[in-house]
Structure 1
Amino acid sequence: MRIGPAKKARFTETELATAWQVASLLLGYPDEELLGRRPLLRRAVGSLPAPAAEPLTRVLDHLDATPPQDLAAEYVATFDHRRRCCLYLTYYAYGDTRKRGMALLRFKQAYAAAGLDLDATELPDHLAVVLEFAATGDLAQGRRLLVEHRAGLELLRLSLTEAGSPWTAVLEAVSATLPPLTGRNEEAVARLIAEGPPEEEVGLAPYGTASGPVFLPDPVLEARS
């Protein structure tokens, strides 16, 4: 599998915020509310450079062409039943170990510093939450969190690609907004592919098998002029 999408482009801060907000929404469960936002999302995507606009448009086209019940089934099969498609970023670096708690705290502290309170039912490292924070809370700190978990994002992209998931394109768009993978990150991705995240707790299912359900936030896209 190829590591890292080929296309890169320069993004203004407004374009970054727009791309991350759209990506955050498209990682949400495809319910009536999300589907009803498609015209607004298309207008937002139209303002973006091609490396983000093209993949996000493919996702929107898929939402248009697929019956809602099939979208729901695809979504559940992808994100609820594939641990390699986990949307929680700290899982890739720390797995189900005690160190993950400290990593989650860093996300919470970043949100608190920006004056944001996260719903207690949501974990702060969920990719949709991080993208929403980066888009509407603190762009610099949100970008830092994404870059720090670059290897996990890349493994998620590769896993979605391998699964033939239409949501691969969302990760392609997010990757296009971030710096290219470095040698160190490429090594981390290769290690994750070979070994998976660390495990510590007794009784966990092996990496790559089914996991419990993942509940997603539903951030709100603000209309942009």
Structure 2
Amino acid sequence: MGMKGSGAAELTEIDRFEGGVGWLAYPGETMQRASHAVESGGKLWVIDPVDADGVDDLLAEYGDVGGVVVLLDRHKRDSAAVADRHDVPVYVPEWMSGVESDIDAPVVRFEEGVGEFALDIVVDNPFWQEGALFDGETLVVPEALGTVSYFRAPGERLGVHPMLRAVPPRSLLEYDADRLLVGHGEGVFEDVRGVIREAIDGSRRKMVPLYLDNLRGFIGL
């Protein structure tokens, strides 16, 4: 299928837990773009969604949709389409630039968080703007961490994004979460703090093995 799927989607459920669920719209794609919906503060928050037939049926199992949240400047994805169908706005962090003009739906800027989720800055520079959400149990990190194969060096359960390996976001070590939801691949539901520490502490040391492994994959060695 290639890096990013297109055309007819095939919704595949992942990451189900009490009060939340995730899905892959194109399970065969290399990028494994993961979308999530999590209940918080009496509303359902849809995070970085990739649309597919059956998404609305999946969301209907939970509470009313309070909004669609974009946590990475490159993750506009299908946020506008999902928000318009549910007559809710797209929520974008106040400090995130270059996003609002590309979203064909009402946009609400937020600074502190949504529902009971607090918003923290993971990366903020001219090339990369990423936030994380945490409500004391669920941590959502859309890009800096991932479980998809091209994020993970040999032997890793969770990997730092290849472009952040040299300077990993050490602020993510502060979280003690029951579960980690990521924007690429399935989430982590056991020993989350330990798995994050393992990924960040080994980020630089395993950088070259990851790059070599990815190179072999791309050229078919």
TM-score by length of 2: 0.28
Q: Quick check: which one's helix share is greater?
A: 1
TM-score between the two structures when normalised by the length of structure 1: 0.28
**Which protein has the bigger strand share?**
2
